[in-house]
Amino acid sequence: MDTIYALATAPGRAGVAVVRVSGSEAWAACRRLCGSLPGPRRAAIRPLRDAGELIDEALVLVFEAGASFTGEASVEFQTHGSPAVVSRLLAALSGMDGLRAAEAGEFTRRALENERLDLAQVEGLADLIDAETEAQRQQALQGFTGALSRKAEDWRASLLRAAALLEATIDFADEEVPEDVSPEVHEILADLVTSFRTEIAGVGAAEQIRHGFEVAIVGPPNAGKSTLLNRLSGRDAAITSEIAGTTRDVIEVRMDVGGMPVTFLDTAGMRETEDEIESLGIDRARKRAEAADLRIILGEDDLGVELREEDVRVAAKCDLGVVGSGLPVSGETGEGVSELLSLVSDVLADRVSGAGTATRLRHAEALKVSSEALELAQEWLYSGGDSAELVAENLRVAIRALDSLVGRIGVEDVLGEIFSSFCIGK
């Protein structure tokens, strides 16, 4: 493969910038820039020169094939984070034969192809790069460090054990088999189906951790919705006014609440109106409120929105002596706001408590195929008679589904989508 290079840190002014080079010509490129190489997996300060001109002094790290992130011979240049320095270094690399600029996600793709990572770990790495909150970081790190991969290997080993027992029955069908293998195979399949169902049930919660929640602030005009949103966000995200109907469109503010990504929605005040523009805003507000994961309800009015058991009712403007059912909150003074955030955090945390190691719909689909194959295998096993070959075939289907989970087979159609989300240099 070509030797590739890219800036691995964010572009722009910074204390340090990291430029990565990976491939068979990486060490030769390093020698051209700084003369001598540090020892493998060692770091040393070296002057970087192009055609005799000093570019910068950099910390240079060298990795031999098999010991780098990509699995190839690699070099990292840690330069000063000046855009001019980075641009000059990249220009020098571009002028070398056999080197080219990396495409998005190409370093990670090489790590996959060189079996440094499996597909589930690649997805975890993509999520880790995008993580904004603690819950997202923890979930992504679990995938990147191989939690799902290790489970898949254990499941696969159990299936291979069951398949081996059945194959022995088939191979020695005309001979007396010393013991009935059915009870052990039954137990293996039952345990695996239970594990798969648990993981499948948790994927929805894991998806919400990755994508985040929407919490709509709903109430009549002048109930204090925009003031509360501004207090939650710590800035003037929404215009506040004593004039009813000020908010016409849905205003969104994304926040970290208890480690989870939450988008708060300030919606138009719910009321009957003849103003065409305000009416459109109210209609849009109702639709977003209905679709939201949770609603914060201000006021006692009938808002035309079907309430749910977990919706949080708030007695807003408590600083003005306004009395109502629900948690007393003032967006103006901040009274009760921390309690409101804590309540929202508790409700959402309960929603995602069932998240497991399978975190994507792709994982759920693979586990569903495997689970259905095992359930069919159980039916054939219970039916008795000459069904061992049918059971064995369904076990093979289940194994192939698990292999697709970690990227052993049948994943080319998802690779493009995954790697397009990576930045250049990763």
Q: What is the DSSP string of 319-342?
A: GGT---SSEE--TTT-TTHHHHHH
Mean pLDDT comparison of 20-24, 155-159, 394-398, highest-scoring range: 20-24
Q: Extract the tokens encoding 173.
A: 């069908």
Q: Give residue 134's identity as a one-letter amino acid code.
A: E
Q: Is 195 exposed, middle or buried (0-12, 13-18, 19+ CB in 10 A)?
A: middle
Classified by CATH at the fold level, domain 212-352 comes out as Rossmann fold (3.40.50)
Q: Give yes or no for residue 176 having a pLDDT over 60.
A: no
Instruction: Note the pLDDT of residue 31.
Output: 94
Contacts (Cβ under 8 Å, ≥6 apart) of 110 = 1, 22, 70, 71, 72
Q: Extract the tokens encoding 107.
A: 């370093």
Which range has the worst mean pLDDT, 125-129, 298-302, 338-342, 358-362?
A: 298-302
Q: Is residue 394 a known part of a binding site?
A: no
Q: What are the residue ranges spanned by the domains of the chain?
A: 3-117, 149-208+360-407, 212-352
Distance CA 257, CA 134 (A): 10
Q: Extract the tokens encoding 36.
A: 């001598």
- Do the Cβ atoms of 1 and 74 come closer than 8 Å? no
Q: Is residue 247 a known part of a binding site?
A: yes
**What is the rounded average pLDDT of the residues 387-395?**
84
Strand order in the sheet with 3-7: 43-50, 53-63, 74-81, 14-22, 3-7, 99-101
Q: Which residue has the higher pLDDT, 282 or 73?
A: 73
Residue with token string 């090489």: 110
H helix or E strand, kind and range, residue 208 = helix 182-211
**What is the rounded average pLDDT of the residues 369-395?**
85
Q: Is 39 exposed, middle or buried (0-12, 13-18, 19+ CB in 10 A)?
A: exposed
Q: Is residue 226 a known part of a binding site?
A: yes
Q: Extract the tokens encoding 70.
A: 């990509």
Average pLDDT, the chain: 85
Q: Extract the tokens encoding 282.
A: 């109210």
Determine the number of helices (DSSP H) and then strands (DSSP E) in the chain: 13, 12
Which range has the worst mean pLDDT, 66-80, 185-199, 386-400?
A: 386-400
Q: Extract the tokens encoding 68.
A: 């780098």
Q: Is residue 269 a known part of a binding site?
A: yes
Q: Is residue 227 a known part of a binding site?
A: yes
Cα torsion through 315, 318, 321, 324, rounded to 10: 10
CB atoms within 10 A of CB 134: 12
- pTM of the predicted model as reported, rounded to 2 decimal places: 0.80
Q: Which own/partner contact pairs does 107-110 have at CB distance under 8 Å and 24+ positions apart?
A: 107/4, 107/6, 107/8, 107/20, 107/22, 107/69, 107/70, 107/425, 107/426, 108/419, 108/422, 108/426, 109/415, 109/419, 110/1, 110/22, 110/70, 110/71, 110/72
Longest dimension (CA), the chain: 90
Instruction: Note the pLDDT of residue 68.
Output: 93
Q: Is residue 116 a known part of a binding site?
A: yes
Q: Is residue 293 a known part of a binding site?
A: no
Q: Is residue 362 a known part of a binding site?
A: no
3 state DSSP class of 407: coil
Q: Is residue 12 a known part of a binding site?
A: no
Instruction: Note the pLDDT of residue 385.
Output: 61
Q: Is residue 426 a known part of a binding site?
A: yes
Which range has the worst mean pLDDT, 175-184, 300-309, 371-380?
A: 175-184
Strand order in the sheet with 213-218: 251-257, 260-266, 213-218, 294-298, 312-315, 327-328
Q: Is residue 268 a known part of a binding site?
A: yes
Q: Extract the tokens encoding 304.
A: 């035309």
Give domain 3-117's CATH superfamily: Probable tRNA modification gtpase trme; domain 1 (3.30.1360.120)
Give domain 149-208+360-407's CATH superfamily: tRNA modification GTPase MnmE domain 2 (1.20.120.430)
Q: Extract the tokens encoding 204.
A: 């929805």
Q: Is residue 351 a known part of a binding site?
A: no
Q: What is the pLDDT of residues 262-275, one digit of tens each?
A: 999 888 766 555 56
- Do the Cβ atoms of 119 and 149 come closer than 8 Å? no
Instruction: Note the pLDDT of residue 323.
Output: 62
- Do the Cβ atoms of 85 and 92 come closer than 8 Å? no
Q: Is residue 70 a known part of a binding site?
A: no
Q: Is residue 324 a known part of a binding site?
A: no
Equal fold, 3-117 vs 212-352 = no
- Do the Cβ atoms of 123 and 415 come closer than 8 Å? no
pLDDT band at 244 (very low <50, low <70, confident <90, very high): very low
Q: What is the pLDDT of residues 123-144, one digit of tens each?
A: 999 999 999 999 999 999 999 9
- Do the Cβ atoms of 181 and 165 come closer than 8 Å? yes
Q: Is residue 194 a known part of a binding site?
A: no
Q: Give yes or no for residue 34 having a pLDDT over 50.
A: yes
Q: Is residue 243 a known part of a binding site?
A: yes
Instruction: Note the pLDDT of residue 241.
Output: 41
Q: Is residue 118 a known part of a binding site?
A: no
Distances (CA, A) of 300 to 64, 147, 235: 68, 47, 27
Q: Give residue 240's identity as a one-letter amino acid code.
A: T
The residues that bridge with 17 in the sheet, in sequence order, are 79
Q: Give yes or no for residue 239 having a pLDDT over 60.
A: no
Q: Is residue 225 a known part of a binding site?
A: yes
